[in-house]
Amino acid sequence: MHDALTRAGRALRLALLIVLALLFLIPFYLLVRNGLATERDITAPGWTLFPHTLQWSNLTEVFRDPNLPLGRTLLNSTLIAVSTTLGTVLLASLAGYGLARIPYRRANVVFYAILGTLMVPAAVTFVPSFVLVSSLGWISTLRGLVIPTLFSAFACFVFRQYFLGFPKELEDAARVDGLGYWRTYWRIVVPNARPVFAAVGTIVFIGAWNAFLWPLVIGQDQESWTVQVALSTFTTAQNLNLHELFVAAGVSIVPLVVVFLLLQRYIVAGVERSGIDD
């Protein structure tokens, strides 16, 4: 009796999970379906599961359309996401290591000044940051798009927590061998902390690739548009080709899905170990 109930409960739970999983996958399916369909198949009255004709040429057409500078915006997004990720990981890991491992009388004051900015949502700083960046003359430049976003208190916090739990014996051995803080960091700490670098790097990369408000505000001429800003602009364009828009949107998530599938293990472990829920 009890056994049968448990088994029924388990089957019910599995069925519910499968339904939810399908619901979560539908948007991805629509992205692919509409990206490979003809314009007529997308807008025909009466929606069908599969388009009548698969139009693979959409994939190349979208890169040749002169009204849609997809290649350029993808290049901008790549430059921004890569430099943001490298810069953030470097700056935040150095600061996190210093805070965790170099004894300094006022280290706690510095740490709380950094942590305090986590409480300041971007909603509050975007007007003043725009004011600062525009007075520096950085509107529509790579500098303006990247540099102000490099100082992530969240990343610094995650690195500090990680280094606090890092086995001290390794570093002590390095110190005995006469290595200073700098060389200990580069030769001992970094190579042994690869998982946290991968986790923070991936989260920062996803955030930078998907960022919208800041690139919208700072990237004012078309030359400096990211792929997100471009997509957003096309959705309100008058002479819109839906199939092209869907291909462009699909292409824009490919880099992330690849990064994501390759590094998922680290993201999950990194989030779990980040200590944000402790």
Partner 1 sequence: MAAPGAGPRSLGARLLGPQRRNLWFWLFVGPFAIGLGLFTYVPLAWSVYLSFFDAHNTVSPAGSDFVGLGNYGAMLGDAAFLGSLGTFVLFTAFIVPATYVLSLALALMVNRLRFARAFFRSVFFLPTACSYVVAAVIWKLSIFNGVRFGLANTVLGWFGADQTAWLSTTDPPWYWLVIVTVRLWLQAGFYMILFLAGLQRISPQLYEAAAVDGARPGWQVLRHITLPQLRATSVAVVLLLVINAFQAFDEFYNLLSDARGYPPYARPPLVYLYYTALGRDQNLGLGSAGAVILALIIAVATVVQARWFGLGRKEE
Question: What CA–CA distance (Å, rounded) separates 179 from 172?
Answer: 10
Q: Rule CB under 8 A: is residue 147 a binding residue for partner 1?
A: yes
Buried b (16+ CB within 10 A) or exposed e, 199-209: bbbbbbbbbbb
Q: Is 22 exposed, middle or buried (0-12, 13-18, 19+ CB in 10 A)?
A: exposed
In the bound state with partner 1, the residue whose beta carbon lies nearer, of 40 and 64, is 40
Binding-site string for partner 1 from residue 43 to residue 62, where x marks contact by CB under 8 A and - marks none: xxxxx---------------
In the bound state with partner 1, the residue whose beta carbon lies nearer, of 56 and 182, is 182
| Smallest distance from partner 1 to CB 206, Å | 6
| Smallest distance from partner 1 to CB 72, Å | 17
Residues 202-241 that bind partner 1 (CB under 8 A): 206, 209-210, 212-213, 217, 228, 231-232, 235-238
Residues 89-118 that bind partner 1 (CB under 8 A): 91-92, 94-95, 97-99, 102-104, 107, 110, 113-114, 117
Show Cβ contacts of residue 256 under 8 Å, excluding neighbours closer than 6 positions: 205, 206, 209, 210
State whether the Cα torsion 52-55-59-65 is positive or negative. negative
8 A C-beta contact, residue 219 and residue 130: no
Q: Rule CB under 8 A: is residue 31 a binding residue for partner 1?
A: yes
Residues 175-204 that bind partner 1 (CB under 8 A): 180-182, 185
